[in-house]
Chain A
Amino acid sequence: MMESLKDKSKNSVARRNFIKKLTFFCTSLLIPSFVNSREKSEKAKKWVLTNGYSPAEHYWGMGVAINKCIGCGRCVDACKRENNVPREPFFFKTWVERYRIFKDSETIVDSPNGAINGFEYPRVEKKAIIRSFFVPKLCNQCNNPPCVQVCPVGATFKAEDGVVLVDSNYCIGCGYCIQACPYGARYLHPVTQTADKCTFCYHRITNKMIPACVEVCPTQARIFGEIKKKASPLVRFMRMNKIGILKPSLNTEPKVYYANLDMEVK
């Protein structure tokens, strides 16, 4: 009886030692990956692209003044021309939505062909409207992007300057990211069969230009610029306006900021 108890206690000490050593060993396995990721982020800070642009020095965002948008759809047209987006409906990197909020608080949201040809109106509205306005939409370039989380191959990623990009040569076209985007900002390109979306015109902003939609907006409803620098039109826009973001409850942390956002806009 005594013998067996002794054995047990001996065993338990050995087991404790074993678990201790196992824990140390497993933790030490994590060190290389930790060191590696720090090394990577250090390297990324010094990264310079072929055109001399260093992503780590920038952090881009867009402001949209809803009270300035006239729903002309010039941004949709310019985006399709600049980025070679198929002209037929359902493929949009940016589009404009029309909100009509009636007195009985029914809300109708529509965007015929993305508003590329503007909007048509019924001659007589069947109910009295209390508020009506246009909302330009695009990829929100989330700081915490759900589309990047779900990509099984690492074909979509957040660049160092915060812009979410798609590597169309690596995308397998599974469509997970299209499902994951809460803003419906992605589409499957009908020719390449890969995911596609707004890149803030990455080929333009890395060449000291502004995105095509901002360039052509006739009423300056769209403002583009740095978020973290003081001399930036976007920072002034965010200082001068009441700012809202789309679906804040999802914690996606969008970098497209809306001024005068109505509660009905989602």
Chain B
Amino acid sequence: MKSLWGKIPEQIPRLSVLLVILVVLFIVVRSRLVPPDFGKYGHYRASAVDEIISQEIRYAGHEVCAECHDDVVGAKKAGYHKNVACEVCHGPAVAHTEDPGSVELRAPRARRYCPLCHEYRPSRPTGFPQIVSNSHNPMKPCITCHDPHDPKPPVTPKECHACHGAIARTKSLSHHVYVPCTRCHETPDEHKVRPRIVVASKPKTREFCGECHAKDAPSEKSIPRVDLATHGERYVCWQCHYPHLPEAR
């Protein structure tokens, strides 16, 4: 009877030695190559997080400015730019807060800066104040008329189209061109000063349009008439007809 050792084929012990060497080599190489803190909390280097948070901070945040510039910050608080952080226009401020004497911040005075936000762009939400800079006092820097810390129109606008330009241009092409805005919208004088807080009214009922367009309305004969009782009775007029360009299809 052969011993157990003798029963094992010759190639097995030889290959096992090779296998053990390979395994040891793998363990040694792996322990050398993998950083010691890899896998401490998960499948990553734990010290990487500390490296990432050591990145330099450049934007100081809106609270810091008031410590020295409380007058400007105070003026800004009451105006339309109250939610626009100082660093939007003046740039990253950490360097300036650390050494106010030698690091000065930029103050964009050129005319091309303000239109970044306020140029008329059809994709912008309605109601956001916009201008067409080509026709809005060309060549004049914005800051000659508007204080950027408390921006408001330098003079109270007299005409609606000063702010509602897109609507005014549309209406000028329509049959409603000679209908004054105030025929349909009640505009308190306060609206011109505080447009967001005191808003102009809008017509609410079908009968309002009927004052001109109903069958028996006491208006000029050339105005198109509809029978309010049968014409689209489940809708209000402006669901189908855009009042500023009623002939549009």
Contact = CB atoms under 8 A, between A and B. Distances in A.
A74 B123 contact: no
B58 A49 contact: no
Most B CB contacts (10 A, CB to CB) among A83, A218, A220 go to A218
Contact of B52 (A70, A78, A203, A219): A203
Q: How large is the interface on B (under 10, 10 to 19, 20 to 34, 35 or more residues)?
A: 35 or more
Interface in A57-95: 67-74, 78, 81-83
Interface string B27-49: 00000000100111111111011
A140 interface: no
B123 A133 contact: yes
Contacts of A223: none
Contacts of A125: 122
Given A40-B40, A154-B43, A132 B123 contact: yes
Contacts of A100: 123
A188 B186 CA distance: 57
A40 B46 CA distance: 12
Interface string B115-152: 11101011111001000000000000000000000000
A44 B41 contact: yes
Given A53-B53, A70-B117, A72-B116, A169 B48 contact: yes
A119 B53 contact: no
B42 A118 contact: no
Contacts of B54: 50, 203
A81 B121 contact: no
Contacts of B51: 167, 169
B45 A167 contact: yes
B59 interface: yes
Contact of A215 (B42, B48, B61): B61
Contact of B44 (A133, A154, A204, A220): A154
Interface stretch (B69-77, B82-90, B226-234): B82-90
B122 A132 contact: yes
Given A72-B116, A216-B85, A220-B83, A49 B49 contact: yes
A202 B123 contact: no
A73 B88 CA distance: 10
Contacts of A155: 44
B58 A119 contact: no
Counting chain B CB atoms within 10 Å of each CB, which of A129, A158, A212, A216 scores highest? A216
Given A55-B49, A154-B38, A218-B84, A121 B121 contact: yes
A216 B53 contact: no
A67 B59 contact: no
Nearest to A155: B44
B87 to A, nearest CB: 6
Given A81-B58, A215-B61, A216-B59, A43 B52 contact: no
Contact of A78 (B42, B87, B115): B87
B10 interface: no
A219 to B, nearest CB: 7
A51 B115 CA distance: 40
B57 interface: yes
A53 B52 CA distance: 13
A180 to B, nearest CB: 16
A167 B44 contact: yes
A65 B15 CA distance: 66
- Of B41, B88, B122, which is in contact with the most chain A CB atoms at under 10 Å from its CB? B41
A253 interface: no
B50 interface: yes
B117 A49 contact: no
Contacts of B57: 82, 203-204, 207, 209
A226 interface: no
A118 B120 CA distance: 12
A260 to B, nearest CB: 10
Contacts of A49: 49-50, 53
B62 interface: yes
Interface in A118-167: 118-119, 121, 125, 129, 132-134, 154-160, 165, 167
19 contacts: A47-B41, A53-B53, A68-B125, A70-B121, A70-B124, A71-B124, A72-B116, A82-B58, A99-B123, A118-B116, A119-B123, A132-B123, A155-B44, A156-B44, A158-B42, A204-B57, A209-B57, A218-B81, A218-B84
Given A70-B124, A133-B125, 12 more contacts: A44-B42, A47-B41, A70-B128, A71-B121, A165-B52, A169-B48, A170-B44, A203-B53, A203-B56, A207-B57, A215-B61, A216-B87
The 8 A-B pairs at the shortest CB distance, nearest first, are namely A167-B48, A157-B44, A203-B55, A132-B123, A44-B41, A218-B84, A72-B117, A154-B43
